[in-house]
Amino acid sequence: IAAELAGRARAVLVRSGAMREVEVVGIANGDIVRGTAFGVAVPELDLVATAPPHALLQQLQGRITKGGLCAAKLDPRKLQKSAIRMCTDQLVSIGGFKFRRSAFRGQEPKVTLMAPPTLGLSGKGIPVDFSVNCSTPLYNAALLREAHAIDSRARSLILLVRRWAKDRGVCHAAKGHLPPYAWTLLTIYFLQVGLSDEQGGSLLPPMQGFKMASGPAVRRGGEADEKRGRVRWHPPAEGSASAEMSIAALFREFVHFYADSMDWRCEAVAVRLGRRASANLHLTLHIVVHEDRSTEAGPSIEDPFEPSRNLGSSLTGLGLGRLREELVRARGLMEKGASLSSLLEPWAPPERAPVTAAAAVDLAFGGGGSCCGEAGVDCESG
């Protein structure tokens, strides 16, 4: 389905003349046809259109001039947004997609579209995040493949963690939570440092030097001596506790690690290094401001491909509180031997009248249901 939707999107963009030099890739991050209460807010499918900047500028020349802007002074981010708007117009008017919402305030702009059943790919509508020249979905997919190649349990745990974070309403960056990509990195980091030597040691090595098949490599982060204190990684011994752990056991250890062991004030999640350490010298630190105006250091989650980029910067005081709340809830449920369905029960605000699944989405993610009209209307300015 992902490849079919990507092919259709590319055909529409080329045929309409919106983007002649374009490639579109579809990246599935989970079960894209499984319905969930938060499916539209956080889609499991990314469609990423890639085109050379000079081709984008050429295609957008008329649109930019009509808007009274000078092409020479247009920064890459505004060019990216203009390209997304132009493509969205064509995908909706010609391609049969339905517009749902835009997210232009985040680190990488995107829009959420719906591939309706009338396209003939599924009996249900499939929500899709569409972006132009966006790196994050490619980074996430590359790390997922690499982790899976080293230990097949890694991919399963990453998908479980992301589903848990999604169903519990703590992975929508636009509303003050961590983005899904951050949850991938949190899981990989746990598999690198979260299991003790007594349990058999780490399941994944440092990602320093890992290179995507086509594209950037994991970069250095500015440490004075990255080799100091580093030891050669070895997979856990056959028969050790970590080598035999089930996905459920690993998830339990993941929750305990971040609920009880991780010190966000002194440590950074850095899968490049794969060891517990403070943030690299170039990482942008994030201070969380609470409603009472008190402050604290927010999570430092380094993007291994862009080490100065902190994926924890989207977290607000409310989001940090909800993160802690969900870790404590999961830990408590697992200590009681609760079922997986209880852990993944969709989040709803406490002490409120019963709400429908759609209403729960609005409460968790700030609405957006009224933005289903014209493709050029943005839910977020910028």
pTM of the model: 0.83
* pLDDT at residue number 358: 46
Reported as a single tens digit per residue, the pLDDT across 32-77 is 666 555 556 678 899 999 988 887 777 777 665 555 555 555 677 8
Instruction: Looking at the chain, list the stretches that DSSP marks H as alpha helix, in order from N- to C-terminal side.
Output: 2-16, 53-66, 76-93, 136-150, 152-167, 180-193, 241-244, 247-256, 317-335, 340-343, 357-365
Residue 244's pLDDT band (boundaries 50, 70, 90)? very high
Cβ–Cβ under 8 Å, residues 181 and 174: no
Point out the least confidently predicted range of 272-281, 333-342, 352-361: 352-361
CA dihedral 255, 261, 266, 268 (to 10 degrees): -40
Instruction: Burial-class residue 374 by CB neighbours within 10 Å (0-12, 13-18, 19+).
Output: exposed
* pLDDT at residue number 219: 58
Mean pLDDT of 308-336: 94
Instruction: Burial-class residue 260 by CB neighbours within 10 Å (0-12, 13-18, 19+).
Output: exposed
Mean pLDDT of 84-106: 91
pLDDT cut 70: percent of the chain above it: 79
Mean pLDDT of 74-93: 87
On the question of pLDDT at 370 being above 80, the answer is no
* pLDDT at residue number 361: 45
* pLDDT at residue number 42: 78
In degrees and rounded to multiples of 5, residue 103 shows phi and psi of -140, 90
* pLDDT at residue number 377: 36
Helix, strand, coil percent values for the chain (each to nearest 5): 40, 15, 45
**Sign of the CA dihedral with 269 first, then 275, 277, and 283 last:** negative
On the question of pLDDT at 291 being above 80, the answer is yes
Distance CA 376, CA 382 (A): 13
On the question of pLDDT at 375 being above 60, the answer is no
- Token pair listed for 225: 């001596």
* pLDDT at residue number 216: 59
Residue 89 half-sphere exposure toward CB, CA atoms < 13 A: 11
Reported as a single tens digit per residue, the pLDDT across 257-281 is 999 999 888 899 999 999 999 988 8
Distance CA 264, CA 320 (A): 11
Instruction: Burial-class residue 263 by CB neighbours within 10 Å (0-12, 13-18, 19+).
Output: exposed
User: Measuring CA to CA, which residue among 176, 174, 113 is closest to residue 380?
Assistant: 174
Mean pLDDT of 196-215: 77
* pLDDT at residue number 134: 92
Residue 23's pLDDT band (boundaries 50, 70, 90)? very high
On the question of pLDDT at 324 being above 70, the answer is yes
Across the chain, what does the average pLDDT equal? 82
